[in-house]
Amino acid sequence: MKVRFTGTEGHEQSVRQGADALRQGQVYVVLEVYCQTEGPNYFRIEFRRGELPPLFDSRLFEVVDHNMHPSWTTSVEWDGSLTISPAAWQSPGFWEEFTEHSRGAIEIYEVGRDALMFEV
């Protein structure tokens, strides 16, 4: 799935949070979709290697490629929130291990990211 960043104009601060790092008009590969039960929906996008790829409010983007990668699976959490991402990333504690620089979690992330980013 690919999205184009449409910019922050006209959106409140809570929607724009972190988006100053993105370039208007740029197309990005979505690494994960996170939908809250009561609240905004987000796309996880890597724009700088070596850092945790942040979640950005989906209202800042338009979808330009609707195809979902075959590695994506869906997970429903206890609160009803929904995550669509590579299955290996949905293991309990994965993102915590990644932020703690666990070599195993980093390798799992890189394999999943590369499959999404470099798909032919």
14 Cβ contact list (under 8 Å, min separation 6): 40, 57
Going from N- to C-terminal start, the domains of the chain cover 2-87
For the CA atoms of 71, 48, 4, 24, the dihedral, rounded to the nearest 10 degrees, stands at 180
Residue 23, phi then psi, degrees to nearest 5: -105, 125
Q: What is the pLDDT of residue 120?
A: 47
pLDDT 10s per residue in the chain (120 long)? Answer: 999 999 999 999 999 998 989 999 999 999 999 999 988 999 999 988 877 899 999 999 999 999 989 989 999 988 999 999 999 999 999 999 999 999 999 999 999 999 998 874
- Is residue 84 within 8 Å of residue 74, measured between CB atoms? yes
Which helix or strand (DSSP H or E) is residue 46 part of? Answer: none
Q: How far apart are the C-alpha atoms of 11 and 99, rounded to whole Å?
A: 29
Overall pTM > 0.75? yes
Q: How far is C-alpha 49 from the chain's CA centre? A: 14
